[in-house]
Structure 1
Amino acid sequence: MTTTSPNDSVIVPSPLAAISLKLVGAIAILVALIDFLTLLFPPDFSNRAWQLSTVTGLVDRGLVPLVGVALLFTGYWIDTSLGRSARKSTLFLDARFWTCLLSCLLGLIFLVTTVLHPNNVRVQSRDALAQVAAEAEQATADLETQLNSDLAQRRAQIDALLENESQLQAAIASGSLDEAQVAQIERFRSNPQELDSFLNSQVSEAQTELQTQISDQREDATKRLKSEATKATLRVTLSSLLLAVGYTLIGWLGLKRLLAMVR
């Protein structure tokens, strides 16, 4: 809100605008600090997943107090323009001083997260990739066990037909075996080595197909994890760096200005 002088067209800021900006700025800062404290509680610094989620949450919320600081200082600037800003006897009684200190502290915090976050993401990504590799190895071992079991079961079924003629005839009569399968069984009867070659060939084909699926799934999971790690590192690290620069500059320049005013 502004007022206009009757003698000219110069726009003069309204005291209400200054009060509103300072009030909204202070509320934004306090609400953000409460949000930060809630995010940090309960602390679990030894848990890397907690560190990552907490840092990400802080960075995502980091712009709110920065806007609050800007609004607060804008309100004080309007007060100064109107000549309503009384000089404090000591900086400790000036809200701007504590706001600058808070800004410097937040700048330091975001600078630390800029350094630590990439390493945490790297370690978490490494652990996730190791888990993917372990799961792939376990799936391969389970595959070997299952194929060996299927091979033994299949061999037992064929051996039963070869050793029991009545069972073979019953299977033929019921339609469970077609002519090609019957001829194949007769070849197995005359040449047992052909049975071994046949079963080993079937197992080898199934093993190759399933191992290809496991390998493809592992490769897809690895690519996805690496992509997510890269995105998380770039987004959070760059945002944290920008916030660190913004808070530090505002805090340092503000303190420099306030110290110059009291000299």
Structure 2
Amino acid sequence: MTQSEEKDKFVPAIDQLWKFSAGLSKSIAVARWIGYGLLILAFFDVVEIFVPPLFMNPAWEFQTLGQLVERVPVPLLGLALVFLGERDQRTRLEPLILSILSWLALLVGILFFLLVPLGVVNTIRLEARNTEQITQQVEQRQAQIKQVKVAIEQATTVEQMQLLISQFSQGRTPQIQNTQQLAEVKQQLSTFLEQGETQLQEQAQSQKKSQRWGLLEDSVKWNMGALVSAALFISIWRLTGWARRSE
């Protein structure tokens, strides 16, 4: 085979490789613009999350942590697309933008690390607040039940008992004929109130347990998510050292 024939043999392969390279360059450019768009959208999300700010409010801070963690995939994907291809085929302003984004990735990673202890503290604060609220509600209901018990004990006549019952049954009262029925009604009401008080305690314990587990699940998910997010952002900073070096 002559040199001319060998050259003609490789020409189609070279043309195909050139076309592939040109197409890949165009695809990378599109991917970078998509990355910039995702970063802008992520910025809008962050602004929405922090407006209005309610710092020192444990519920707001805890929910903000959750929203930030759940929206992390968008900026991470945006950064990955923006840094694609390193310095190849960049515009004049892009080196400065890439350097800023690289340092910004480090800053965001550090902030996510700092959010973890804050998330743990807010979990404890919210657990204490939820328990206190449920306890206050139970105490209020118990105080109401105690008032009714006292009123029942003080009702010594049929008329007083019927009036008392009508206040709690929207006007529908049983017909009490004599003192024996009066005593039976008082006993039934006392038993009913005691059962209600027991159910109140059981419901309060169930509510505390349910809220505690729900809060713990969110706390573990969001705090672990913050740790993973921090590691990923710092990894991006480490792997984009080329963007921080002057050419």
Write out per-residue CA displacement over residues 205-244 of structure 1, whole angstroms, 9 at most, x where no aligned residue: 2332111111111011111110111111011111111111
Q: C-alpha separation between the residues in 1 aligned to 2:180 and 2:82?
A: 89
- Which residue does 2:168 correspond to in 1? none
Q: C-alpha separation between the residues in 2 aligned to 1:183 and 1:73?
A: 89
- Which residue does 2:226 correspond to in 1? 240
SS state at 1:46 partner: coil
Alignment of 1:1-263 (within 5 A): 6-7=12-13, 10=17, 11-12=20-21, 13-74=23-84, 76-77=85-86, 80=88, 84=89, 93-153=95-155, 155-157=156-158, 176=175, 184=180, 201-202=187-188, 204-255=190-241, 257-258=242-243, 262=246
Larger Rg, first or second structure (1 or 2) = 1
Normalised to the residue count of structure 1, the TM-score between the two structures is: 0.72
Contact 1:151–1:203, Cα closer than 8 Å, also in 2: no
Contact 1:151–1:199, Cα closer than 8 Å, also in 2: no
Q: Tell me by how many angstroms 1:22 deviates.
A: 0.9
- Shift of the 183–93 alpha-carbon distance from structure 1 to 2, 3 Å rule, reads closer
Q: C-alpha separation between the residues in 2 aligned to 1:159 and 1:251?
A: 79
Q: C-alpha separation between the residues in 1 aligned to 2:202 and 2:100?
A: 57
Q: Structure 1 vs Structure 2: percent identity of aligned residues?
A: 20
- Shift of the 71–203 alpha-carbon distance from structure 1 to 2, 3 Å rule, reads same
- Shift of the 73–152 alpha-carbon distance from structure 1 to 2, 3 Å rule, reads same
- Which residue does 1:173 correspond to in 2? none
- Shift of the 73–142 alpha-carbon distance from structure 1 to 2, 3 Å rule, reads same
Aligned pairs, number: 220
- Shift of the 182–7 alpha-carbon distance from structure 1 to 2, 3 Å rule, reads closer
Q: Tell me by how many angstroms 1:248 deviates.
A: 0.7
Q: Tell me by how many angstroms 1:253 deviates.
A: 2.3
What is the RMSD computed on CA atoms of the aligned residues?
A: 3.0
The code of the aligned residue for 1:59 comes to V
Contact 1:110–1:241, Cα closer than 8 Å, also in 2: yes
Which runs of 5 or more structure 2 residues have no equivalent in the other structure? Answer: 1-10, 162-174
Q: C-alpha separation between the residues in 1 aligned to 2:179 and 2:211?
A: 52
SS state at 1:249 partner: helix
Contact 1:92–1:98, Cα closer than 8 Å, also in 2: no
Q: C-alpha separation between the residues in 1 aligned to 2:227 and 2:61?
A: 17
Normalised to the residue count of structure 2, the TM-score between the two structures is: 0.77
Q: Tell me by how many angstroms 1:183 deviates.
A: 9.3
Q: Tell me by how many angstroms 1:18 deviates.
A: 1.6
Larger deviation, residues 59-68 vs 94-103: 94-103
The code of the aligned residue for 2:103 comes to L
Which runs of 5 or more structure 1 residues have no equivalent in the other structure? Answer: 161-175, 189-194
Q: Tell me by how many angstroms 1:202 deviates.
A: 4.2
Q: Tell me by how many angstroms 1:17 deviates.
A: 0.7
Q: Which runs of 4+ in 1 moved over 4 A?
A: 8-11, 198-204
Q: C-alpha separation between the residues in 2 aligned to 1:258 and 1:247?
A: 15
Q: Tell me by how many angstroms 1:38 deviates.
A: 2.5
Contact 2:65–2:119, Cα closer than 8 Å, also in 1: yes
- Shift of the 157–97 alpha-carbon distance from structure 1 to 2, 3 Å rule, reads same
